[in-house]
Chain A
């Protein structure tokens, strides 16, 4: 079946050349090339290239880490539906995701929570999801990052929805990735994907297009979604400064259209508080205890939050309308004075220390809160 390369202008016939008739068994040609040698050379080159790529990223400071994928979230979420519905669950944004350390919590509190926080995403999607799931009867710690919670912004909103439509193929794919790739390859991280790397090269700016730097890699995670800050953010001043500049983009520009007037802003905040109140009411009917937590922030980020989402019109109203206890870091001396290398997240060591400090407070609130 080798190709007759001496036929000039050769075209393999297709059904388009044979109207209205039975189509024969297709003809497939194989170019007369030494395919064994070609594939051998290609494989060797491929291995060398991948090894070089891996070396580059390890040299950059990356280490193999588990991806914070949809599959990983679904894996933890599934635990609630498979017999662990009475567990303590943490739902917040990135501050809770890598600010509260599960091993420390387990040591200090006697139980290891399920971590369902999603970076850049309002926790309300996951809270509403649990509120509608009769299997969940545990306790809930809800993280409040003001700019995400009160805007309803959901960078990874599809993650929650996908749990309910996850196909067997996706579950197997997640399992394979978790066991065969993620523990071994540092480059296997969305922040090091080819298109992401190409996008963040120094392209000349196009007049009229706002060059918005997307958030870079800030954390590493283990197989069960316990995450902590990436050491490069803690130790590399250049990277740390870049992370701060990325946050600072939010502080400088005009507010997004849905919050560019005080009226719109108020309506948006009220809407989110209403969502929270509805979800918590459903949870309470099943005896679920809930506590809000406002994790620390610092520097310009803290200043921005103070200005755009003042406590009196957001946090305080949230607690009052939902009739729910809350832990604001400003209210507890033991939750203040931590190091936040890029203003928004605790460093690894500080996250350990913070978790150890916050667990007794959470326990105290849960112990004192009357069961509904």
Chain B
């Protein structure tokens, strides 16, 4: 089920009530586990089997890995986990993509190959829980984590519903220890958790779905060629939409977990105030970027084997990061662009290592980063390279037969919301939300919360799935 649905509201009330009852800690954990399976099965019950397979394979592999004495055996159990997880992910997420490209490749070399037609439905959240379970085996293999004391704690780590389908992607060392001792939210945690849920839902339902999505759709999914204004506004709208959608989900997940007494990590740190791309990736989808860094970039050599190897590792990591988002070459190009940005930034930093920009220059660099991030978003949002090219030529004022597309209302609301988001990110770029809220008068907080909750209700929404569920 999605957070922004009546079903989830009722589900959460029941889970919260059960978790507040004077049951044994083990009973509470079983309740949470069953609730998490229900949460997942509410989309498509059969897919729960995949979740179980992923859970059991990694539990078994990790147990064997711990007790294996020879390095080769440890490595073999680790590889079993990786192959099983990536195999499942590849089949469901990349099956079509691989077959299509294989057919294309065959036709280029003169072999007529017709790929078999079969429908593969992407199980929701598979990319997220696959990475979570893999991190369990990999951390144990790398001796960073101890195995969970029992299967219940481990299964709950994989399945815990706040992070199950769209993260934050949690590491075993972040969550498993929280299941060891009884946890219950204090009244303050419950209240602040509810406030975070309101903030997250406001971002998703009001900003992303009600005011930003349609401007992006009109230009990206329409047939007309946009001019510079329409292309930029639509791309800015998408950049706001994807942030509000995903950060809204993460904020809600953190709030939901907090109401139950658990802590989840930040997934975003005001990314549109980033200066440079290494800074951006320390602020955007942190749990994915750090997962890729720790389990892909560093094993590929990281910065330990010279410049050339570093750049190769960087670009390869970003390419695979792009592919993680979707089985399409447009996502690969998005990843490649970010990889290129990171390489260029690194070269520039080496060239101008001692340069310390002033506040205004820093802001200009921030805007440049934001603009380049938006250019990359074009490939993320466009369904085809043709459309991406049309939007890019529009953005640079070179569109052929461009005609106005967006009405005044869309131009104004998108501009205001994006300006508001960028302003807020710059205000908070060196702080946490909590540190800022701690300085606001309680009445102001109450009024803001009331208006956000009111806007959520009157926006009505349509239980639209979060964008990242498809990844």
Residues of chain A whose beta carbon lies under 8 Å from any beta carbon of chain B: 3, 5, 7, 9-12, 14-17, 19-39, 41-43, 45-46, 49-50, 53, 167-170, 172-173, 176-177, 180-181, 187-188, 190, 192-195, 198-199, 201, 203-209, 211
A31, B282: Cβ atoms under 8 Å? no
B187, A36: Cβ atoms under 8 Å? yes
Residue of B nearest to A195 (CB): B210
Known contacts A23-B171, A31-B437, A205-B408, then 10 further A-B pairs from the complex at CB < 8 Å, ordered by chain A residue: A14-B290, A31-B435, A38-B449, A39-B449, A50-B454, A50-B457, A167-B43, A194-B455, A209-B408, A211-B407
Chain B residues bordering chain A, tally (CB within 8 A): 85
Q: Tell me if B368 is interfacial: C-beta within 8 Å of chain A.
A: no
Residue of A nearest to B298 (CB): A20
CA distance A198 to B458 in the complex (A): 12
Partner of B265, one of A3, A23, A45: A23
CA distance A186 to B437 in the complex (A): 35
B408, A204: Cβ atoms under 8 Å? yes
Residues of chain B whose beta carbon lies under 8 Å from any beta carbon of chain A: 1-2, 5-8, 10, 41-45, 139, 144-145, 171, 173-175, 177-178, 187-189, 191-192, 194-195, 206, 210-211, 214, 254, 258, 263-266, 269, 281-283, 286-287, 289-290, 293-294, 298, 302, 403-409, 411-413, 430-432, 434-435, 437-440, 442-443, 445-447, 449-451, 453-455, 457-460, 463
A25, B450: Cβ atoms under 8 Å? no
Determine the chain B residues whose CB is within 8 A of the CB of A24 once the complex forms. Answer: 173-174
A173, B463: Cβ atoms under 8 Å? yes
A31, B438: Cβ atoms under 8 Å? yes
Residue of A nearest to B211 (CB): A195
CA distance A190 to B431 in the complex (A): 39
Partner of B453, one of A12, A46, A199, A205: A46
Partner of B191, one of A9, A11, A36: A36
B265, A26: Cβ atoms under 8 Å? yes
A193, B458: Cβ atoms under 8 Å? yes
B432, A11: Cβ atoms under 8 Å? yes
Given the known inter-chain contacts A38-B442, A38-B446, please indicate yes or no for A176 contacting B210, CB distance below 8 A: no
Determine the chain B residues whose CB is within 8 A of the CB of A39 once the complex forms. Answer: 191, 194-195, 446, 449
Given the known inter-chain contacts A15-B265, A24-B173, A26-B265, please indicate yes or no for A35 contacting B435, CB distance below 8 A: no
A28, B258: Cβ atoms under 8 Å? yes
Partner of A26, one of B6, B174, B447: B174
B446, A45: Cβ atoms under 8 Å? yes
How far is the CB of A354 from the nearest CB of chain B, in Å? 32
How far is the CB of A93 from the nearest CB of chain B, in Å? 21
Residue of A nearest to B8 (CB): A169
A14, B409: Cβ atoms under 8 Å? no
How far is the CB of A207 from the nearest CB of chain B, in Å? 7
CA distance A172 to B12 in the complex (A): 14
12 examples of A-B residue contacts, CB within 8 angstroms: A11-B430, A14-B265, A16-B282, A16-B290, A22-B139, A25-B178, A26-B266, A33-B440, A38-B195, A46-B454, A194-B459, A198-B409
Partner of A167, one of B44, B258, B431, B449: B44
CA distance A45 to B446 in the complex (A): 8
B453, A42: Cβ atoms under 8 Å? yes
CA distance A206 to B145 in the complex (A): 59
What are the 8 tightest A-B residue pairs by CB atom distance, in nearest-first order?
A45-B450, A35-B191, A169-B42, A31-B438, A15-B290, A169-B1, A41-B446, A208-B404
Partner of B174, one of A25, A32, A41: A25
Determine the chain A residues whose CB is within 8 A of the CB of B293 once the complex forms. Answer: 16, 19-20
B45, A26: Cβ atoms under 8 Å? no
Partner of A172, one of B7, B139, B283, B443: B7
Determine the chain A residues whose CB is within 8 A of the CB of B173 once the complex forms. Answer: 22-25
Partner of B287, one of A15, A19, A49: A15
Partner of B450, one of A11, A41, A206: A41
B6, A194: Cβ atoms under 8 Å? no
CA distance A3 to B437 in the complex (A): 10
Residue of B nearest to A69 (CB): B462
Determine the chain B residues whose CB is within 8 A of the CB of A195 once the complex forms. Answer: 210-211, 214, 459
B294, A19: Cβ atoms under 8 Å? yes
CA distance A340 to B129 in the complex (A): 56
Determine the chain A residues whose CB is within 8 A of the CB of B264 once the complex forms. Answer: 26, 28
B432, A22: Cβ atoms under 8 Å? no
Given the known inter-chain contacts A22-B139, A34-B442, A168-B45, please indicate yes or no for A5 contacting B265, CB distance below 8 A: no
